[in-house]
Each structure stands twice: as C-alpha cells, then as structure tokens.
C-alpha cells in the first residue's frame, strides 16, 4: 500500500510536469504565431514601401560605399538612361559622377560619416548617352552596430529646369546690371553736362544781375521820375525820383496799379491814357498837373512809350515825368514882357518844345535799357 501511494504521488508530479510543459509549449506556440504575424505584417509594409518607391516619380537609389549600386527605382533608371541590370555593373562614384565632381562628393560623404546627419548637395550625372544633367541629392547613410557604413541611400532630383531658369535669371541680372551701368553712366554724363550748364547759367545770371544793378543805379541817378508797367497796368519798376514823386517806397509801388498809389481822379486819367497807348502803341506825350508830396501843384509832361519783350511781343509801358513848372513860369513871364514890348525874339518861348524833343530821345534810350532789364 505505501508503495502504491508513492506511485500515485510520482504520477501526480509527472502529471504536473507534463501540464507545465504543455503550458510552455502552448505559450511558445503563441509567441511563434505572433512573431509570424509580426513578420508578415512587416513584410507587407516593406513590400508596400518598396512598391511606393518603385512607382514614385522621385528617383531613388541605395549604393554601397565601394561604389556599386545596391538597388534603385524605375525613375532612377529613366534619369540615368540605364536599365537596372546595367546599373548593377557600373559604379555611382566613377561611371555616373564626372571627374570634376568626385572630390566635392567625397567631402560631402566624409561630413555625413562624421556628423551622421543627411546632406543635401548638388552635382552632375553622366547619362548613358554621354549627356550631363545637373542633379540635387538628399543623401543618407545606414551603419551597423559597430558604426561602419553599410550603404547610402539618396533621393535624386533633376534640376535641369531650375538651372536653366537660374542661368536665365542670372543673364537677366547681368543684362540689367549692364543696363543700369549704362544708364548710370548716362546720368553721370547728363549730371556733368547739367552742372556745366548750371555753372554757365549762374555766370550768365550773375552778369545779368550785375547789368540789372548797373541799369537800376543808372535809372536811380536820373533826376526825372521814371516808371514802367506791364500790359495790365501793374508797376514793374521805377527809379528813386519816382518814389519821391509819389511819396511811396519802391516796395509799395511795384506790384500795384495806378489806383493803389494815386487819387482816383488822377488814376482814371492814367488808366485811360495807358489803355489808349497800349491800343495804338508807340509814343504818347501829354501835359498834366499833379500834386507833389510837398502839397504844391506842379505842371508836368508825361512822356510814355510802349516796349516789347525779346520776342517782339508787347510787354508794357515805360514813362518819364518831366516837371515843366519852371518852364511855364518862364514862358508866362516872356509873354507878359512881349505884350509889354510888342516884341519877341525868334528863340523865345521855345524851351518847352526843346525839353519835349529831348525827353523823346531820352525815353527811347531808357526803353532799351528797360527791355534789357526785363530779361533778368
């Protein structure tokens, strides 16, 4: 009986071991099944990504550090002009890369190995037909656990159109810079010419100003009142004697009309005579009486003439005022004496006429001076 009980205990232990082994087997089978499922899911993802890359219009290639091409997509074949079978027999660093670009490429790969970061750079490819195309690469590296590079992979972009546009843009910039340079030279030359003309003009203006000052001093030195107006009757200038004559400074005469500086009754006469002279043009001489600023009535002769500008267009009126008070008094005395003596010499009583003739010649001279004066 004890031996039988011992057998039962052994059988129970063996049964427990079998159960544990069965549980472990089931767990292992579950892990294997899950691992298989994960594997096939990963396989599906890889195949999906591989298909996406293969169908992509973006050229893609993975290459070994030794120079041979590991894999690539259809767009990469179209870019280089080679088939996949042909690409496996050539090297990317020697056959596809022109000689002058190899050193530049080596520096980029060395920097990628040092930093571990991808690099974007440009170079050229030599296609199967011998033509060259400019490209841009986004280069990555994949290393093993020891840090050695297993392979590189890159996305490649054909930048032929970008380079063409870049070259055209540079050409346009060069042309624009040349145009700007030419235009700048033209502006510099024009500025020099303008500065020379300004200098000449300034000298001419200084000469005219000097002439103006001289003529103004000349006119101011004449004892007879002199004035000149434009065709609207606005005073444009006068001499010192005229300032004394009207009792106003020159600043309050220039820019004014007859009504601003004379009583209305006299201004009416001035306006009427000026209008008649402007219509008929030429010389106008008439006598009148004016009240000087000293309050004394004077007999005067207004000797006026029209003048033109340099184009021959009527520009205004110039006038000279001659005080004939003393002449009239002398003439009156002579007439009284003539009545008393019943005699008169041949030259007597002629001073007024002589003064008028003299004033006419004098007026012509002043008119020319005013015309020149107006040019300033």
Q: How far apart are CA 362 and CA 376, in angstroms?
A: 22
What CA–CA distance (Å, rounded) separates 321 from 331? 19
Q: What is the model's pLDDT at position 337?
A: 61
Phi-psi region of 130 (alpha: psi -120 to 50; beta: other; left: phi over 0): left
Give the helix/strand (H/E) hosting 302. Answer: strand 297-308
Q: What is the pLDDT of residue 348?
A: 40
Quick one: which of 236, 229, 279, 228 has its CA closest to 254? 236
Reported as type and span, the H/E element at residue 99 is helix 99-115
Structure tokens at 40: 């096939």
Domain 222-375 belongs in CATH node 3.30.450.20: yes
Residue 262 and residue 246: Cα distance in Å, rounded? 8
For residue 74, what are the contacts with CB-CB under 8 A and spacing of at least 6?
A: 54, 55
* Residue whose C-alpha is closest to residue 321's, from 265, 250, 239, 258: 239
The dihedral through the CA atoms of 81, 86, 88, 93 has a sign that is negative
Condensed to tens digits (0 to 9), the pLDDT of residues 98-120 reads 999 999 999 999 999 999 999 99
**pLDDT per residue of the chain (376 residues) written in tens, 0 to 9:** 444 455 777 777 777 777 787 777 777 777 777 777 777 777 677 677 778 888 889 999 999 999 999 999 999 999 999 999 999 999 999 999 999 999 999 999 999 999 999 999 999 999 999 999 999 999 999 999 999 999 999 999 999 998 888 888 888 888 888 888 888 888 998 888 989 889 898 888 888 888 878 888 888 888 999 999 999 999 999 999 999 888 899 999 999 999 998 888 888 989 999 999 999 999 999 988 776 776 777 888 999 999 998 888 999 999 999 988 887 777 666 666 665 554 444 434 344 444 444 445 555 555 555 555 444 3
pTM of whole model > 0.85?
no
Asked whether the beta carbons of 53 and 60 are under 8 A apart, the reply is: yes
Report the pLDDT value the prediction gives residue 131, as an integer from 0 to 100.
95
Cβ atoms 122, 139 nearer than 8 A: no
Q: Right CATH number for 56-158 from 3.50.50.60, 3.30.450.20, 3.40.605.10, 3.40.640.10? A: 3.30.450.20
Instruction: Give, in order, the Cα–Cα distances in Å from 235 to each of 280, 288, 373.
Output: 20, 20, 14
């Amino acid at each position: 009986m004890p031996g039988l009980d011992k057998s039962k205990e052994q059988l129970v232990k063996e049964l427990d071991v079998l159960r544990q082994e069965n549980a472990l087997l089931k767990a292992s089978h579950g892990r294997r099944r899950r691992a298989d499922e994960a594997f096939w899911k990963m396989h599906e993802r890889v195949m999906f990504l591989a298909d996406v890359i293969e169908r992509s219009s973006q050229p893609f290639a993975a290459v070994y550090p030794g120079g041979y091409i590991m894999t690539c997509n259809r767009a990469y074949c179209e870019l280089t002009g080679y088939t996949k079978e042909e690409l496996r027999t050539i090297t990317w660093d020697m056959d596809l890369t022109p000689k002058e670009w190899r050193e530049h490429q080596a520096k980029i790969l060395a920097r990628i190995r040092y930093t571990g970061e991808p690099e974007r750079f440009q170079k050229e490819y030599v296609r199967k037909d011998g033509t060259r195309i400019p490209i841009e690469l986004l280069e990555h590296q994949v290393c093993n656990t020891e840090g050695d590079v297993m392979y590189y992979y890159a996305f490649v972009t054909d930048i032929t159109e970008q380079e063409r546009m870049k070259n055209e843009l540079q050409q346009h910039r060069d042309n624009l810079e040349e145009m700007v340079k030419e235009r700048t030279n033209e502006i510099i030359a024009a500025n020099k010419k303008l500065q020379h003309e300004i200098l000449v003009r300034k000298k001419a203006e200084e000469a005219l100003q000097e002439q103006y000052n001289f003529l103004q001093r000349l006119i101011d030195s004449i004892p007879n009142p002199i004035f000149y107006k434009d065709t609207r009757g606005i005073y444009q200038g006068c001499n010192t004697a005229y300032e004394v004559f009207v009792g106003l400074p020159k600043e309050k005469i220039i820019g004014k009309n007859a009504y601003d500086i004379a009583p209305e009754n006299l201004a009416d006469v001035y306006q009427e005579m000026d209008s008649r002279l402007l219509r008929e043009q030429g010389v106008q001489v008439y006598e009148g009486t004016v009240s000087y600023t000293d309050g004394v009535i004077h007999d005067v002769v207004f000797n006026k003439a029209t003048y033109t500008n340099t184009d021959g267009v009527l520009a205004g009126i110039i006038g000279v005022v001659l005080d004939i008070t003393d002449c009239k008094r002398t003439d009156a005395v002579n007439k009284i004496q003539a009545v008393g003596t019943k005699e008169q010499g041949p030259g007597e009583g002629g001073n007024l006429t002589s003064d008028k003739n003299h004033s006419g010649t004098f007026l012509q001279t002043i008119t020319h001076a005013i015309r020149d004066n107006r040019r300033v």
